[in-house]
Amino acid sequence: MNPAGLCEISCKFKSFDSKFLRLFTYSFRKFATKSKLIPSLDGVNEETNPKKHPGIMALKSIEVPNKLLLAITNVFKDQPISVLSKNAELLRNYLHSRKPPLESGQLRQLIGETGKLVEQEDGIDLTTLTDEEKAHLSKIRKSKVKKIVNQKVYNWSSIRYDDQSSRTYLLARSAAEFAVLFKVFSEIKLMYPNFSPKTLFDFGSGIGTVSWAAWNSWKTLKEYFCVDSSKEMLDLADLILRNGNLMNDHIINGVYFRQFLPSSQTLKYDLTVSAYSMMDLPSSKNRFETLLNLWNKSSGFLILIENGTKAGFEMINEARDFILEISRNDDAGAHVVSPCPHNFACPKIGLRKPCTFPVKYYTLPIGGERVARNEIFSYVVLKKGCHAAGEP
């Protein structure tokens, strides 16, 4: 992707510098929810309905493969599970309720608007007050504004995954995330039966479910490059792959762990994935930088997955629009493979119901019987290049 090509979208900057990114980010925040720059589609019809997409399939309840289940059981071997199970439930609920952080511009705007409302409400004429009274009133107003804003604003904070919370995450999310990933990969396999990926890049790789599901889906994979900012998460992912014992070799060959996202774009990957990691990034600027980096690393499919909530869906849609937009003037181009059978703006944005998909799975039989559950997710699969004739 040639960054200079992006200039037409916003303000004719010559290079992709940080000032550009700030403005670019700002304009994208605006269009992210309104989808103005992507040609719009009026309503959903037979051709554009994502539920009628050729790759959509019904699968039986999905289970974590036996080898990995055994490894996870070994990892938990000496740990009291009852406390961990309670924490897992809490973490699951917390992650499900997560929303993106408010942008600083949005916060300033909200404070300004609330300030005006508070002034209107008390209706006090400042000209009638002494300096001392003015200072006192200003204090009261500020505290009222703070209280109202705090009630309205989602209090996003980053999650620091230490050893304990990484283990909690493993228990809370691995079975559901494995099922989601397995379903999305199965869809790609169905639509592109001749696709035989050799390399995979996983951003925010956590406990490694992306690698597990990809390994289970394509035997052609030779390299899995996993990036996660938490050393403890990487250590846990490594321990699982070693069957719970650091002396063992990896169950899956060719898995590499790194703590930082390489900025180099020389190496390209057949599959580039971010599963449930975008919500962890502190701003839209950060999300767009990361997406640009991931897109530049991709030679085939970019797969993005988030929770099947309004916030998760909006984040996926924001990313979808961003990639389509930056690829518009790029020779390589991009197109959406699934769930939408088109590149138009999502007709579901602004409607009350987000675009989500279900998958059935079995929970881990650890600390209790395995139970059948339903996981709801939002996702998009983008492919490098324009839609070719004969492609699904």
Ligand X SMILES: C[S@@+](CC[C@H](N)C(=O)[O-])C[C@H]1O[C@@H](n2cnc3c(N)ncnc32)[C@H](O)[C@@H]1O
Interface with ligand X by CB under 6 A: which residues? Answer: 161, 177, 204-207, 209-210, 227-230, 233, 261, 275-277, 280
Residue 199 CA to residue 220 CA, distance in Å, equals 9
Q: Can you read off the two tokens belonging to residue 269?
A: 């990957």
Cβ contacts of residue 391 below 8 Å, gap of 6+? Answer: none
Q: What angle do CA 335, 349, 108 make, to 5 degrees?
A: 110
Nearest approach, Cβ of 161 to ligand X (angstroms)? 5
Instruction: Output 6 or 304, the one with its CB closest to ligand X.
Output: 304
Instruction: Output 204 or 339, the one with its CB closest to ligand X.
Output: 204
- Burial letters 32-44, b for 16+ CB under 10 A, else e: beebebbeebeeb
Neighbours of 280 (CB within 10 A): 20
Nearest approach, Cβ of 226 to ligand X (angstroms)? 9
Nearest approach, Cβ of 293 to ligand X (angstroms)? 10
Q: Which of 242, 170, 248 is nearest to 209 (CA)?
A: 170
Nearest approach, Cβ of 101 to ligand X (angstroms)? 12
Nearest approach, Cβ of 184 to ligand X (angstroms)? 12
State the pairing for strand pair 298-307/269-275.
Answer: parallel
Instruction: Output 40 or 259, the one with its CB closest to ligand X.
Output: 259
Nearest approach, Cβ of 204 to ligand X (angstroms)? 3
Instruction: Output 37 or 234, the one with its CB closest to ligand X.
Output: 234
Nearest approach, Cβ of 158 to ligand X (angstroms)? 7
Position with the least CB separation from ligand X: 206
Q: Which of 160, 138, 217, 154 is nearest to 185 (CA)?
A: 217
Instruction: Output 18 or 196, the one with its CB closest to ligand X.
Output: 18
Under 8 Å between Cβ of 57 and 186 = yes
Distances (CA, A) of 360 to 17, 242, 286, 372, 376: 44, 28, 33, 7, 9
Residue 210 CA to residue 255 CA, distance in Å, equals 11
Instruction: Output 227 or 271, the one with its CB closest to ligand X.
Output: 227
Instruction: Output 346 or 375, the one with its CB closest to ligand X.
Output: 375
Residue 52 CA to residue 92 CA, distance in Å, equals 30
Instruction: Output 230 or 309, the one with its CB closest to ligand X.
Output: 230
Nearest approach, Cβ of 166 to ligand X (angstroms)? 7
Instruction: Output 103 or 232, the one with its CB closest to ligand X.
Output: 232
State the pairing for strand pair 199-203/269-275.
Answer: parallel
Residue 71 CA to residue 63 CA, distance in Å, equals 14
Exposure of 259 by Cβ count < 10 A (0-12 exposed, 13-18 middle, 19+ buried)? exposed
Instruction: Output 207 or 380, the one with its CB closest to ligand X.
Output: 207
Chain centroid offset of residue 39 CA: 24
Residue 338 CA to residue 359 CA, distance in Å, equals 15
